[in-house]
Amino acid sequence: MKKILSITFLALLMLCGKAYSQSNLTWVVKDKIGDNTFRSQTAFNTSIEGLANPNEAKAFFDKIKSNENIESCENKLEQNGSYFLALKVKKASPSSYYLALAKDLGITTIVVNGEKKSTDELIKEQKR
């Protein structure tokens, strides 16, 4: 009985750990962003924080590349453990497009111009 409980507990722990690691993704926009930046630019220098390992990072970046509006998505591991992401889109889009993309990718926090906000909070601000 102890063995069954131990195996069950270990399986639950692994599942919870995976869900937790993927629920703390932060998208840091390194470029200075103004009012119409997203509507006029197609290339952005960003980084993604919170990817647990190279396999998770590969799956994450493959998901970005599968988006039809993404022209290129170059990434590399930085010394601090985050992943640099040079993102180039085919056509400029409003900021609401990028917020929807972030939400779809499971990003919970976005840092723009040094200000850190949750993705949900930014989406609510867009609707106002």
Is a pLDDT exceeding 50 seen at residue 43? yes
Is a pLDDT exceeding 60 seen at residue 20? no
Sheet holding 115-118, edge to edge: 70-77, 83-89, 43-49, 25-29, 107-112, 115-118
Structural domains in the chain, sorted by start: 25-127 (3.30.1360)
Distance CA 27, CA 107 (A): 7
The predicted model scores a pTM of: 0.76
- Residue-wise pLDDT for 56-100, tens only, equals 999 999 999 999 999 999 999 999 989 999 999 999 999 899 999
Provide the sign of the torsion angle of the four alpha carbons 99, 104, 105, 109, taken in this order: positive
3-state secondary structure of 61: helix
